[in-house]
Structure 1
Amino acid sequence: MPGWVQDAVWWHVYPLGFVGAEQERGDDDVVRHRLPRLLDWLDYAVELGANGLALGPVFASGTHGYDTEDHRRIDPRLGDDADFDTLVAACRERGLRVLLDGVFNHVGRGHPAFRAVLEQGPDAPTAGMFRLRWPHGPGAEPEYDTFEGHGQLVALDHSAPAVADLVTEAMTHWLDRGADGWRLDAAYAVPPSFWAGVLPRVRERHPDAWFVGEVIHGDYAATVGESGMDSVTQYELWKAIWSSLNDGNLHELAHALGRHDEFLRSFVPLTFVGNHDVTRIASRLTDPRHLAHALVVLFTVGGTPSVYAGDEQAFTGVKEDRAGGDDAVRPPFPAGPAELAPFGEPTFHLHQELIGLRRRHRWLHAAHTEVLHRDNTQLSYASGADGERLVVALNLADTPALVPAPGAGALLAGAGQVQQDGVRLEPHGWAVLAGR
Structure 2
Amino acid sequence: MTWWKQGAVWWQVYPLGFTGAEPAAPPPGTPVRHRLRHLEAWLGYAAELGCSALQLGPIFASETHGYDTLDHFRVDPRLGDEADFDRLVRAAGDHGLRIVLDGVFNHVGRGHPRFADPGSAHWFVSRDGGHATFEGHHGLVELNHDHPEVLEYVVGVMDHWLDRGASGWRLDAAYAMPASFWHKALTQVRPRHPEACFVGEVIHGDYAAYVAGSGLDSVTQYELWKAVWSSLNDRNLYELAWALDRHDALLESFVPLTFVGNHDVTRLATRLDDERHLGHALAVLFTVGGVPSVYYGDEQGLRGLKEERPGGDDAIRPAFPATPEELGPAGWPVHRLHRRLIALRRRNPWLTLARTTVPHLTNTAMALESTGDGRLLTLLNSGPEPYRFPLDISGLAVAESSGAGAADPRLVPAHGWAILTAG
TM range (shorter): over 0.9
Select 1:127's aligned residue among 121, 130, 133: 121
Select 2:375's aligned residue among 367, 376, 389: 389
Q: Which amino acid aligns with 2:124?
A: F
Q: Secondary structure at the match of 2:397?
A: strand
| 1:42 alignment counterpart | 43
5-14 vs 369-378, greater mean Cα deviation: 5-14
164-173 vs 409-418, greater mean Cα deviation: 409-418
The reply to whether residue 285 of structure 1 matches residue 272 of structure 2 is yes
Shift of 1:435: 4.9
The reply to whether residue 365 of structure 1 matches residue 313 of structure 2 is no
Shift of 1:133: 5.6
Supply the distance in 2 between the matched residues of 1:306 and 1:81 (Cα, whole angstroms). 26
| 1:87 alignment counterpart | 88
| 1:260 alignment counterpart | 247
The reply to whether residue 115 of structure 1 matches residue 109 of structure 2 is no
Supply the distance in 1 between the matched residues of 2:125 and 2:419 (Cα, whole angstroms). 52
Q: Which amino acid aligns with 2:404?
A: G
Select 1:169's aligned residue among 131, 156, 167: 156
The reply to whether residue 235 of structure 1 matches residue 235 of structure 2 is no
Shift of 1:134: 9.1
The reply to whether residue 432 of structure 1 matches residue 412 of structure 2 is no
Shift of 1:66: 0.2
| 2:392 alignment counterpart | 406
Shift of 1:350: 0.3
8 Å contact kept, 1:8–1:52: yes
8 Å contact kept, 1:372–1:404: no
Shift of 1:319: 0.1
Task: Give structure 1 stretches of 5+ with no counterpart.
Answer: 118-123, 136-142
Shift of 1:29: 4.6
Q: Residue by residue, what CA displacement relative to the aligned partner does 1:214-263 show, whole Å, maximum 9, x if unpaired?
A: 00000000000000000000000000000001111111111111010000
Shift of 1:405: 3.1
Supply the distance in 1 between the matched residues of 2:416 and 2:26 (Cα, whole angstroms). 51
Aligned residues: 420
Q: What is the aligned-residue RMSD (CA, Å)?
A: 1.4
Q: Secondary structure at the match of 2:66?
A: coil
The reply to whether residue 32 of structure 1 matches residue 25 of structure 2 is no
User: Where do 1:23-422 residues align within 5 Å?
Assistant: 23-30=23-30, 31-117=32-118, 124=119, 126-132=120-126, 143-386=130-373, 388-407=374-393, 409-414=396-401, 415-417=403-405
Q: Which amino acid aligns with 2:121?
A: A
Supply the distance in 2 between the matched residues of 1:103 and 1:364 (Cα, whole angstroms). 30
Q: Which amino acid aligns with 1:57?
A: P
Shift of 1:419: 8.0
Shift of 1:28: 2.7
Task: Give structure 2 stretches of 5+ with no counterpart.
Answer: none
Q: Residue by residue, what CA displacement relative to the aligned partner does 1:17-75 show, whole Å, maximum 9, x if unpaired?
A: 00110101022352111110001100010111111100000000000000011000000
Shift of 1:397: 1.1
8 Å contact kept, 2:227–2:239: yes
Shift of 1:6: 1.8
Supply the distance in 1 between the matched residues of 2:6 and 2:134 (Cα, whole angstroms). 33
Supply the distance in 2 between the matched residues of 1:256 and 1:134 (Cα, whole angstroms). 39
| 1:138 alignment counterpart | none
Shift of 1:417: 4.2
Q: Secondary structure at the match of 2:389?
A: strand
Shift of 1:7: 2.3
| 1:120 alignment counterpart | none
Q: Which amino acid aligns with 1:39?
A: E
8 Å contact kept, 2:62–2:69: yes
| 1:11 alignment counterpart | 11
TM-score, normalised to structure 1, is 0.94
Supply the distance in 2 between the matched residues of 1:279 and 1:11 (Cα, whole angstroms). 17
Supply the distance in 2 between the matched residues of 1:359 and 1:293 (Cα, whole angstroms). 19
Supply the distance in 1 between the matched residues of 2:386 and 2:26 (Cα, whole angstroms). 58
Q: Residue by residue, what CA displacement relative to the aligned partner does 1:313-345 show, whole Å, maximum 9, x if unpaired?
A: 000000001111000000111111011000101
Q: Secondary structure at the match of 2:16?
A: helix
Shift of 1:132: 2.5
TM-score, normalised to structure 2, is 0.97
